[in-house]
């Protein structure tokens, strides 16, 4: 399985440069060593979870709070990387920023370098800004709070060395030191109405036995949620599939537990971006809706933790996709509501996807 961390790429006086990289580890190692990942999991596709997440701008795992973009000057050339600067002292960090880092635009790191070079602000103010960014735990230069820099002490608290035969040093977050809540995901497919629907399976460490190598784990396989006393209870094909195809992420940005109070009404095929954009204008002119789309409901991506049994109705007409997406806001579909004049950016994917329309179960 894979996870994201940092590899050491350059050493300068008092500063080390790390670049984000993807590493392969065994499933047992990831769980037993309590490893984390620099990559977070955003809601898939058009999914909106119970925590009021709106549509996502990517059809697969999102990189929320990713390490920042850094442009380094080296001789007559410049090199851009996604990474992190680890420093021994603030004085050495500022010397490195002034000599080596090239401002690239409107991100916070570029602003810091420009202000440092101009001398328009006191060194004390700039030092406080760096320390406040470190306290926030945010290393994304695109964030209002974050900077892609950490002191050596903070780096050692949040990351651990990953044993490797490779020459460069490799580091991955610890589950505690970086952000609690690691999550393992693997892709799978499921037949529904004769169609192959993309799904995700989830492994969710519970944190109940913190610090134990036998931490209980929740396993959702696309149809049911099981409580496992440890990773050792995940056997056979499921274990091998996670070990081979799984990916480890840090705390997810949506609820990964199934919603027992929701039931599936139907699935709607979402065409690829170009096909959806082509069908959009025409679809908005058609007022007649499929009977399954005449009442309000919740909308999630097919990779959400929703149980599919295989016999649910499937709608494949592009008009149904247009009518669904045009009247869906923050995961809630309201037919006849004000329609969006253009396709939401999250739905313009390279390949087709599937939306699931949900109803609330009636109380007994």
Nearest to 257 by CA among 295, 224, 301: 224
Q: Residue 295: how many CA atoms within 13 Å on its side-chain side?
A: 7
Ranges 172-186, 205-219, 313-327, most confident: 313-327
Q: What is the mean pLDDT of the chain?
A: 81
In sequence order, the 6+-apart residues with CB closer than 8 A to the CB of 301 are 43, 44, 45, 46, 47, 353, 354, 355, 356
Please report which confidence band the pLDDT of residue 181 belongs to, taking 50, 70 and 90 as the band edges.
low
Statement: residue 339 has pLDDT above 90:
no
Tokens of 343: 């396709």
Predicted TM-score of the model (pTM) = 0.77
Statement: residue 252 has pLDDT above 70:
no
What confidence score (pLDDT) does residue 350 get?
65
What confidence score (pLDDT) does residue 146 get?
75
Do residues 117 and 132 touch, judged by C-beta distance below 8 A? no
Give the whole-angstrom CA distance, residue 248 versus residue 61: 11
What confidence score (pLDDT) does residue 173 get?
84
- What pLDDT digit, counting tens, does each position of 72-81 carry? 998 778 999 9
Statement: residue 50 has pLDDT above 50:
no
Secondary structure (DSSP) of 273-320: HHHHHHHHHHHHT-----GGGSS-EEEEETTSS----S---EE--HHH
- b or e along 186-203 (b: 16 or more beta carbons within 10 Å of the residue's beta carbon)? bebebebeeeebbbbbbb
What confidence score (pLDDT) does residue 305 get?
85
Statement: residue 51 has pLDDT above 50:
no
What confidence score (pLDDT) does residue 258 get?
73
Domain boundaries, the chain: 2-23+64-173, 262-360
What confidence score (pLDDT) does residue 235 get?
81
Statement: residue 102 has pLDDT above 90:
yes
Tokens of 307: 């149980």
Statement: residue 71 has pLDDT above 50:
yes
What confidence score (pLDDT) does residue 363 get?
54
In sequence order, the 6+-apart residues with CB closer than 8 A to the CB of 44 are 56, 59, 60, 61, 200, 301, 303, 304
- What pLDDT digit, counting tens, does each position of 253-292 carry? 566 777 778 899 999 999 888 888 888 888 888 888 999 9
Give the whole-angstrom CA distance, residue 231 versus residue 229: 7
Q: Residue 196: how many CA atoms within 13 Å on its side-chain side?
A: 4
Looking at the DSSP assignment, which residues form a beta bridge with residue 33? Answer: none
Q: Residue 333: how many CA atoms within 13 Å on its side-chain side?
A: 28
């Amino acid at each position: 399985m894979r996870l994201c961390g940092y590899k050491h790429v350059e050493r300068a006086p008092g500063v080390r440069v790390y670049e984000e990289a993807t590493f392969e580890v065994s499933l047992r190692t990831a769980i037993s060593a309590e490893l984390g990942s620099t990559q977070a999991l955003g809601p898939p596709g058009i999914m909106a979870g119970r925590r009021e997440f709106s549509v996502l701008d990517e059809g697969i795992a999102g990189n929320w709070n990713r390490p920042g973009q850094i442009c380094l000057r080296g001789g007559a050339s410049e090199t851009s990387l996604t990474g992190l600067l680890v420093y021994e002292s603030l004085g050495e960090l500022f010397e490195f920023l002034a000599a080596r880092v090239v401002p690239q635009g409107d991100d916070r790191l570029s602003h810091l370098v420009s202000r440092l070079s101009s001398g328009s602000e006191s060194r004390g103010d700039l030092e406080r800004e760096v320390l406040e960014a470190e306290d926030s735990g945010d290393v994304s230069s695109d964030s209002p709070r974050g900077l892609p820099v950490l002191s050596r002490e903070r780096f050692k608290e949040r990351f651990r060395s990953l044993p490797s035969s490779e020459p460069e040093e490799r580091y991955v977050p610890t589950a505690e030191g970086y952000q609690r809540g690691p999550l393992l995901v693997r892709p799978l497919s499921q037949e529904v109405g004769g169609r192959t629907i993309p799904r995700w399976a989830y492994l969710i460490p519970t944190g109940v036995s913190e610090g134990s190598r036998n931490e209980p784990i929740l396993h959702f396989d696309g149809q049911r949620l099981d409580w496992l006393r440890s990773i050792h209870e995940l056997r056979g094909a499921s274990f091998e599939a996670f070990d081979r195809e799984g990916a480890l992420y840090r705390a997810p940005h949506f609820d990964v537990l199934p919603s027992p109070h929701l039931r599936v009404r139907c699935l709607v095929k979402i065409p690829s971006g170009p096909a959806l954009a082509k069908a959009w204008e025409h679809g908005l002119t058609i007022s007649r809706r499929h009977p399954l789309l005449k009442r309000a409901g919740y909308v999630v991506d097919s990779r959400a933790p929703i149980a599919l049994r295989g016999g649910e109705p499937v709608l494949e007409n592009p008009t149904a996709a247009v009518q669904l997406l045009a009247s869906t806001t923050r995961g809630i579909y309201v037919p006849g509501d004000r329609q969006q004049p253009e396709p939401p950016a999250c739905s313009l994917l390279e390949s087709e996807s599937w939306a699931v329309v949900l109803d609330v179960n009636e109380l007994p």
